[in-house]
Amino acid sequence: MQVAVLNGVNLDVLGERDATLYGGIGLGDLETRIYGWAKEVGLTVRCLQTNHEGQYVEWCHDVRRWAGGVVVNPGAWTHYSYAIRDALEIAGLPAVEVHLSDISSREKWRRHSVLEGIAIGAVSGEGPDGYLEALEMLKQALG
């Protein structure tokens, strides 16, 4: 089963961000791990990253044509982008939300996710390993 992994704003500079919050690895290393984990759980993934909200929305529209599910980490867009929420709802695919840091224990504005209610699950605060948990959730949902 083909799955999309959509990473959003500022994840391209992941290795330059606070390692205690974000795991201390770069996006390339994270994607390498994701490809390996996907293979372990019996999925095929395509990882995409953008800093442009409109592009992220376009990918959410497009994935319904080639993927059976999606793992999303919109970054800060998680907290306010109803455009991304609507696009994921339009896609109609099982989606798992993942965050490297524990958004529930961070600044007040980070504690709310506009994806709540449309994602089948969420993983937060597990660092890079959260993507493995998200892939496992998605695999279970896809049967």
Catalytically active residues are 22, 99
Beta bridge partners of 95: 70
Beta carbons of 10 and 1 less than 8 angstroms apart: no
Residue recorded with tokens 């490809």 = 35
**Residues 45, 31: contact at Cβ < 8 Å?**
no
Q: Which residues pair with 121 in a beta bridge?
A: 96
Task: Measure the CA–CA gap between 13 and 26, rounded to whole angstroms.
Answer: 7
